[in-house]
Amino acid sequence: MEKITLPNGLTVSPVALGAMDFGTTTSKEAAFRVLDAYLDMGGNFVDTSNNYAHWNGTGDESETLLGEYFSQRKCRDRIVLATKVGFDRHGEGQGLKKEQIEYWIDESLRKLNTDYIDLYYAHTDDPTTPLEETMEAFHSLVQKGKVRCLGGSNYDTWRFCEANAVAKTPYTVMQQWFTYLHARADIAPQYTFNEATTRERLRYLESKQIPLVAYSCLAKGGYECPERLPKELIGGERLAFLKKMAADKGVNASALAVAWMVNLHRCEGFPRVIPLFGSSRAEHFTANLRGVELTLSDDELAQLNRA
């Protein structure tokens, strides 16, 4: 798997492995198999958070499991590691005040068994805290060597832009909900800021050379199991076209969706998109990862965009 070098200097695989369920609904043994398969295929970009997956546990499980993996496999230097701060976890942790950021980075470093984070995200916007306070706190972490680069997740585009306007160390990656299927406009997102990525947001990112890390990019398994397709997404003819082209290419629809996202930067008005997904089974994960190896012509990309 060829690596790409982002404008912020990080060199990452074109697909990121999401570790959200590791240690809760995905057992340690299964998670280790997925991680091993990902690294064996040349992957190096691993994504977690300080609150994963608190709805099935305490919120410490994912980071703690990854820390154990790095220790056992002696592979921390091979990983571009991303984690996050700012979302609620059983009534604590929500917000981006200076003291919260300073406390939770040390908790993440301890659990992850490392002394630095490659990419540290604000997990969601905090309108109650001045942007100057938040960005100064993040900048301090970079100055101390605890963090290499910063990212923003679940921000309105204008707030992301305003945060960077006051930042000494700006957000250089955005993480947001994005997939091949279009989102319905008549259903509000679960949280205030985790809205589907719009074309306007994509044009902004392309103009600023900021990559998009796309979460929920495989529609929670809905490309393979129609009953799992989120109600917020429109299936119809666009999904049918994706499945037909995937069958013609001998891959599943998820793999073709990955290929589309990996290649989307070739189209005018689109930034670099890095699909972020995980699995509890290594064979399912590697089947979807086949999308990285697919070659899409300009005409095929145009067909997928028009469908």
CB 92 within 8 A of CB 52: no
Rg (CA), the chain: 18
Q: Which two tokens stand for residue 212?
A: 């998009």
> Which residue from 42, 60, 44 is spatially nearest to 52, judged by alpha carbons?
60
The CA distance from 222 to 220, in Å, is: 5
Residue type, 170: P
Beta bridge partners of 89: 92
Is 52 in the active site?
A: yes
**From the candidates 52, 120, 121, 215, which is the catalytic residue?**
52
3-state secondary structure at position 106: helix
Q: How far apart are CA 278 and CA 6, in angstroms?
A: 22
Nearest to 212 by CA among 272, 164, 265, 169: 272
Phi then psi for 161, rounded to 5 degrees? Answer: -65, -45
What amino acid positions are annotated as catalytic residues? 52
